[in-house]
Structure 1
Amino acid sequence: MIAERRLAVTPTDGAQVVKALDAQAALLPYALGVFAVSLPLFVWVGSFAANPLWMTASFVVFAINWGAFYAAVNWLRDEPSQDLARRARVHVLCGVLWALAVVQISIFAHGAGPARETLLLLATAGAVLCTFFAAPYMPGLLIIAPVAAAGPLVAQFSQTDSRLAGELTFGATALAMTLALILNRMFRRQHDLAIAHEQLVDERLRVLEEAERTARSKSDIVATLSHEIRNGLTGVTHVLAAAAGRGGRAAPSREQLNAALDAAQDLIAVLNATLDSETAESGRLQVDAHPFDPVRLVQDLTLLDKPHAATKGLELSVHIDPLLRGPARGAVIADALRTRQVVSNLLGNAIKYTVRGRVEVRLEVRGELIAIEVADTGPGLSSEEMEQAFEPFRRVERTGAGVNGAGLGLSLARQLARLMGGALDARSAVGVGSCFTLTLPFDPTAQSELEEELDTVTMEAPGAPRALRVLIAEDDALNAAMLRAVLEQLGHQVVHAQNGRRAADLAKIAEFDLLMLDHRMPVMDGPSAAATLRQGEGPNQSTPIVAIIDGEAEEAAEFLEAGADIILRKPVSVAGVARALADAAALDRSDPAKAAA
């Protein structure tokens, strides 16, 4: 059964042609050998002929064919022979030359006098040999065999006294053609098996390479997490223990708290970069292209990084193309949040690795692209170090010693740029500095639609009513505390349920302005709770539901099908929650369309 299934595999025509031409090329040395052995016999028989002029012409034709075959065999060793169509034409042409040599011998034999019959038999043998050596390649066989057989057949049937010999010649050439077709069929079956085998080997090699890549990736992730996260968490734990008064230690100072906060933020950055990199590597990372204002994005990020640059004594400046300053300045067509992530990484690296001098951010319109350049006067990188910097989980030892990071920023940034239809390039010189250029699609006639996505962290959601009564369902105590803190920071009242069943029961007896449900919870998960609320009766049957998920598309689809209105992905932030509240406030429950974001 396995063999039958393999035989049923239909290989590509190109692969079949390559196999056929390879088989014919393998027969070329034997063809040369056969004709070399036959030449003395032909010369001996031809010496009895009455037309020495034709005898000389025959030798010339043989010499031409010999040279052509020799050139073809050598040509097959060169690179131009990789052109499949050209190679097929050369094979057919060489076969036609030998067939024409057989025709020439037949013409010579027709006037050879006593040696006529013998020479025609030799011509018939030549036609059979041409048919045999053309068998691997079907188009060549269908062209070469008839041409080679035409010479001796016409010569034999041209005289009445050689009709019997003509019938024998016809039978010999017909039998040779039949056997050649059978041989061609056998070649094709062998080629099918060979191609199927090669495909199977290639597939296994791809699987093996994928397994090795996954193993290396997991090893790199474990090494990164064990180093960066363990060290960071240890420091944060010590500060928190001191704040809790454990071990009789004094309360931490403001500097220690700030250091712990920085370490926690670094840990979040490492985790996010690791997860995004793995998601992008597996092809599951998606981007949403919308028009947005690149000037505002760069100005916001520069404003956020100015204090950090000032503490290091660096000059941080922005240069904007005059074409981007007018009222109709166009917009970038890409994912605003992912673009912000890339530019933030480039700007953060420039400030992080630059000890003295300046950092410049330049925006320039280049036709249908916009270039965002981040240049610094840092240590610079050599060409080998630059290649290493773009490899995942690889850090340049000369410049990265003592600096936190997972070695994923540039690798992830380049992947995101490609996903958005752009590119990330770099040029650098050791001791001079580096310049990273992000290019993205640009439409000079478009207007920004997502400027609110590029705002810095806001404390309130524009358009959202104050003092909302919000019911959150979250089984994880830390996540619940974080979400409660964010909502209370935005000025809203919070009621917490530890699972979906408890949230559904509370929603039946109390009225809320918003429901926020986690996906994975004991007793009843988020989608089940959302479906229960939508199908049941009570004051919250039409209350907007914000679904909190880990980021999987399947989770979002399940929640939306259950009746959720808005999707909020973890880890939640003040800006993300504020946007969700604003979307919920603008949601019209009479509209059956969902406001999933």
Structure 2
Amino acid sequence: MKIRTQINCLLLFGALVIPATVGMALMAARHIEQDISDIRAAEDLIISAAQLSQVVVETALFHEARSQDQWQRKIASMNLQIGRMRPMLTAVQPELERIQKKIALMQTIYARLIRPPDTPDMPLRRPSALESAVEARSVASLLVLTQEVTGIAHELIGATRAVQAGTLRDMQIYIGLFLLAISALIGFVWHLVSRRILQPLRVFELATHHVAGGNYVHRLGLRQGDEIGELAAAFDGMAARVEKADVDLKAHRDNLAQEVVARTAELTAAKEGAEALSVVLLEKNVALEEARLVAEKADRAKSDFLSSMSHELRTPLNAILGFAQLIDSATPPISAAHKRYIEQILKGGWYLLELINEILDLALIESGKATLSPEPVSLLSLLLECRAMVEPQANAQQITLTFPQQHSAQFIEADRTRIKQVLINLLSNAIKYNHPGGEVAVDWTVRHADRLRITVRDTGSGMSEEQLGQLFQPFNRLGRETGAEEGTGIGLVVTKRLVDLMGGSIGVHSEVGVGSTFWIEFTVTSPKQLQHDDAETADQALLQVRDGLPQRTVLYVEDNTANLDLVEQLIARRPNLQLLSAANGSLGVEFARAHQPALVLMDINLPGISGVTAMKILQADPSTAHIPVIALSANAMPNEIQRGLDAGFARYLTKPIKVNEFMETLDEMLASVRRDAGTAIDHPASAFPGAAE
């Protein structure tokens, strides 16, 4: 039997037997204690019965009220003594019932002895012979009854002592069983430890000395069917392996000397050749190091060029698209012809921005600089956002969009911004390369329990096998260069690279004349724990900002007059806002200190100190540290945006400005400032000195 099993049996035995015997012994002790209490109550009952006889005589002789009061107190005392005894104990139950009947009879007879005492108002009257005879018989009966109660009480004492003796014997038996169980437990433990553990351990100790001394042929020889036996078998197996290894080592050592002589000769020849080649190895390492440095320098130059190109292209686009949006939404409306011109400007400008973004995305991915932030993304939220963004394009081309009716919450592991970029690109292509009146259907399924597939099916012209083979090649439009649809041919390349970076997979099925079905797969995950948000409070604050509040100041630090004019026109659309501008970072800091604006819009590339430096100066100054600073820059590379947010900007908006996004961010930040101002009023000690609008 296993040692573990024996110990478990031992513990089970102790857990069952020992508490049971202790419990029964304690119960017997409580019974003995009650027996003693019952005996004392019976003795008190005997005393009360003797005193009751005296009260009977006094009542018969003097008929005093005091005697009657004593009678009632003694009767109550006797009832109390009876109540102290255990009425449910079978051995004394008949005696208790007899005493109670005797007391009831005594109460009835005693009532005959009671007659009104002599008073001054009533003359002394001698009792008649009949009354005297009745009284004598009543006294005699009461005295006999008290003697009988005393006798029964003695019987109760005898019966209770007999019960007590039996209980005492039971308690002695229980104590004996307890001691026997403890002795058996101790004996079994000693046997287990001594015979099954300590003796085998001494054998192990002797064996380890043998093996340590080089006697690898020694074996334990233990044949126990428990854990010690298994350990002994493992030890013997190990000793056998060590013995075999020792034999092999001796054989190898015998041949080692000859091998050393042979290898020495080979090494001598190799050394002579290595000395000749050492210079050529060294030269290759130097060349490789130089090549690595050149590659790193080229990579840095490429990153700098991409950043510079992004900034230089976005700056003029900001003015073009910004003022075009202003004209398009001007009041009063422009003429129909001018509106068509503006629509063409906006269409071309946004398309140019899309091309710039695609080229920069591809360059970032290929250089390994693309950064991702994987998180659980809600499929329902993702599909709703993408549908809202592509529906205008579908309606313009008379394409029917079909999305699934999602009834269960599903989440996938992906970068939220990039997965939306991937899905919108697939949807845009499905709409762009479709025909009027066509259909684009989106669906999803869970595959292999941990993978979710999203499909985008269109009813376009489809692709041949040859075109599918060239699908994910950059700048390859698959023979559609002369078509009406615009594009660079790199959108799907960027899409595939982003899907790969997020740990997903992408594929396509297509048939000429029928249409194409693109699919992407990602890992299913669980949603993260959402924090409580105060969206309702923010919405209320936003309404307050928009409705009739006192005028507030927005400071814009910008050196480009076109960008300044654009933002000035946008701010003018908020009657409760006024714009203050500064042409460089140093002047912007001074204006912020002097005018205490509600918020600051900050360009990054400024003459003199940069926008980042100006922002940090404002944050370090207690008089301006409470003012939120929003970056508004043409530096739109993802790593540049992240560096700006890490530096301390409250938000980071990129040029060209998207009017809706700009105004929503402006309203959100102003609402946040107003909530903070309200908190400062409630808690003046937390307000910054000099903070005022």
Q: TM-score scaled by structure 1?
A: 0.55
Equivalent of 2:417, from 324, 337, 342? Answer: 337
Distance in 2 of aligned mates of 1:577 and 1:439: 36
Q: Residue type matched to 1:182 in 2?
A: T
Report the alpha carbon displacement of residue 397 of structure 1 after superposing the two structures with TM.
1.5
Which residue is 1:275 aligned to?
360
Report the alpha carbon displacement of residue 351 of structure 1 after superposing the two structures with TM.
0.7
**Unpaired segments ≥5 residues, structure 2:** 1-250, 307-312, 329-334, 547-551, 681-685, 689-693
Aligned pair 1:508/2:590, yes or no? no
Aligned pair 1:567/2:669, yes or no? no
Q: Residue type matched to 2:444 in 1?
A: L
Q: Check 1:421–1:262 CA distance in 2 against 1; reply closer, same or farther (3 A cut).
A: same
Contact 1:527 1:558 (C-alpha < 8 Å) held by counterparts: no
Aligned pair 1:466/2:545, yes or no? yes
Contact 2:584 2:606 (C-alpha < 8 Å) held by counterparts: yes
Aligned pair 1:362/2:443, yes or no? yes
Which residue is 1:179 aligned to?
265
Which residue is 2:617 aligned to?
532
> What does 1:115-264 correspond to in 2, within 5 Å?
146=255, 174=261, 177-186=263-272, 252-264=337-349
Equivalent of 1:479, from 550, 556, 563? Answer: 563
Report the alpha carbon displacement of residue 495 of structure 1 after superposing the two structures with TM.
2.6
Equivalent of 1:319, from 404, 409, 412? Answer: 404
Aligned pair 1:390/2:472, yes or no? yes
Report the alpha carbon displacement of residue 347 of structure 1 after superposing the two structures with TM.
0.7
Distance in 2 of aligned mates of 1:201 and 1:379: 53
Report the alpha carbon displacement of residue 520 of structure 1 after superposing the two structures with TM.
0.6
Size of the aligned set, in residue pairs, is: 398
Q: Check 1:482–1:182 CA distance in 2 against 1; reply closer, same or farther (3 A cut).
A: farther
Per-residue deviation, residues 550-584 of structure 1 (Å, max 9, x unmatched): 13577567756865443334444333663475367
Distance in 2 of aligned mates of 1:451 and 1:278: 38
Q: Residue type matched to 1:365 in 2?
A: V
> What does 1:283-432 correspond to in 2, within 5 Å?
283-320=368-405, 324-326=406-408, 329-356=409-436, 357-366=438-447, 367-398=449-480, 401-432=483-514
Distance in 2 of aligned mates of 1:500 and 1:208: 36
Report the alpha carbon displacement of residue 266 of structure 1 after superposing the two structures with TM.
1.2
Equivalent position SS for 1:397: coil
Distance in 2 of aligned mates of 1:270 and 1:566: 25
Contact 2:605 2:611 (C-alpha < 8 Å) held by counterparts: yes
Q: Check 1:450–1:420 CA distance in 2 against 1; reply closer, same or farther (3 A cut).
A: farther
Aligned pair 1:547/2:627, yes or no? no
Report the alpha carbon displacement of residue 513 of structure 1 after superposing the two structures with TM.
1.2
Q: How large is the RMSD of aligned CA atoms in angstroms?
A: 4.9
Q: Residue type matched to 2:477 in 1?
A: R
Equivalent position SS for 1:319: coil
Report the alpha carbon displacement of residue 429 of structure 1 after superposing the two structures with TM.
2.3
Distance in 1 of aligned mates of 2:392 and 2:656: 25
Per-residue deviation, residues 437-460 of structure 1 (Å, max 9, x unmatched): 12233324546789999xxxxxx9
Distance in 2 of aligned mates of 1:532 and 1:217: 28
**Unpaired segments ≥5 residues, structure 1:** 1-141, 151-172, 221-227, 244-249, 454-459, 593-597
Contact 1:461 1:578 (C-alpha < 8 Å) held by counterparts: no
Q: Check 1:536–1:204 CA distance in 2 against 1; reply closer, same or farther (3 A cut).
A: closer
Distance in 2 of aligned mates of 1:217 and 1:528: 22
Distance in 2 of aligned mates of 1:536 and 1:218: 33
Per-residue deviation, residues 138-197 of structure 1 (Å, max 9, x unmatched): xxxx989958959xxxxxxxxxxxxxxxxxxxxxx94x5532221244466678777777
Report the alpha carbon displacement of residue 376 of structure 1 after superposing the two structures with TM.
0.8
Equivalent position SS for 1:439: strand
Equivalent position SS for 1:531: helix
Report the alpha carbon displacement of residue 416 of structure 1 after superposing the two structures with TM.
1.8
Identical amino acids, percent of aligned pairs: 25
Equivalent position SS for 1:252: helix
Distance in 1 of aligned mates of 2:665 and 2:254: 78
Q: Check 1:191–1:422 CA distance in 2 against 1; reply closer, same or farther (3 A cut).
A: farther
Q: TM-score scaled by structure 2?
A: 0.48
Report the alpha carbon displacement of residue 543 of structure 1 after superposing the two structures with TM.
0.9
Contact 1:317 1:360 (C-alpha < 8 Å) held by counterparts: yes
Contact 1:291 1:450 (C-alpha < 8 Å) held by counterparts: no
